[in-house]
Amino acid sequence: MSWKITNDKVKDLDVFGLTVTGSNVFAGTEGGGIFLSSNNGETWEPSNNGLKELYVRALVISGSNLFAGTIGGGVFLSTNNGESWRMINNGLTNTDVFALAASGNNLFAGTVGGGVFLSTNNGANWKESNTGLRNKYISSLTICGNNLFAGTDGAGVFVSVNNGATWSEVNSGLTNRRIIVLALSGRNLFAGTYGGGIFLSTDYGKNWLEINTGLTEQYVNTLAVSDGHIYARTHKGNLWTRPLSEMADIL
């Protein structure tokens, strides 16, 4: 098996968010809004009806609800597989949304400068959830069990074990605290940084170890873990991969 380009109508657009529900794949782009493919990426069509801001930074699914985080427009909700969207920003005082995460009835939005916001009713209402969070530039959110992790641009990683009510810093060994992206594989947490490459924690962020052997580009924009490999996309647009088996003594 090998990779092939499946850009179709999203060619030349930067894709920041991908999510899958059933047979539908949604892609959030910078400037083009949201695109939908129902045939495994062979073809794409715009899915922007009601979407007032086309810079889409994050996508997440919770049950039958599809949420989109945008830069400048806040959060939008679709309940019909992207056929239409409506804005859901009541209480969301910062509408530059870089990250979204969902756990049960809780929906979290990470913003640029406003920290984390929590909604317990599918985005109908939002409230700030920043107690203990020293940096409010949230670049990434991810959930592992009862642990909600927030990556910040400048203060490293924070964790909440009570649905965002309070946060604690988890940065021991993290020598670069400009976090761009977080990725989970089981209990292994990976952090891609701005200028420091990739770090790994195997104990829910309590301790971190640099894993940059062979990685000559240290500005990491995107991370993913699949089929025994970790994949990293750097600021130069290159895709790097490393077998997790090479880190067997760590994992």
Q: 154's torsion region: left (phi>0), alpha (psi -120 to 50) or beta? A: left
Q: Are 46 and 35 in contact (CB under 8 A)?
A: yes
**Residue with tokens 């990779």, as numbered in its chain:** 3
In tens digits, the chain (251 residues) has pLDDT values of 445 566 677 665 677 888 888 888 888 888 999 999 888 778 889 999 999 999 999 999 998 899 999 999 999 999 999 999 999 999 999 999 999 999 988 999 999 999 999 999 989 999 999 999 999 999 999 998 899 999 999 999 999 999 999 999 999 999 999 999 999 988 899 999 999 999 999 998 999 999 998 889 999 988 888 778 888 888 887 778 888 888 766 66
CA distance 152 to 86: 28
Q: What is residue 180's DSSP assignment?
A: E
User: In the chain, where are the structural domains located?
Assistant: 8-129
Angle at 29 between CA 126 and CA 123, to 5 degrees: 15
Distance CA 57, CA 246 (A): 32
Looking at residue 115, the DSSP 8-state letter turns out to be: E
**pTM, full prediction:** 0.91
pLDDT at 1: 46
> What is the model's pLDDT at position 95?
97
For residues 31 and 82, give the distance between their C-alpha atoms in angstroms, rounded to a whole number.
17
Tokens at 231, concatenated: 């994949």
Tokens describing residue 238? 């290159």
Does the domain formed by 8-129 have CATH 2.60.120.590?
no
DSSP at 239:
E
Buried b (16+ CB within 10 A) or exposed e, 193-205: bbebbbbbbbebb
For the residues of 167-221, what is the DSSP string, one character each? -EE--BT----BEEEEEEETTEEEEEEBSS-EEEESSTTSB-EE--TT----BEE
Tell me, what's the pLDDT at 5?
Answer: 61
Sign of CA dihedral 94, 95, 100, 106: positive
CB 127 within 8 A of CB 114: no
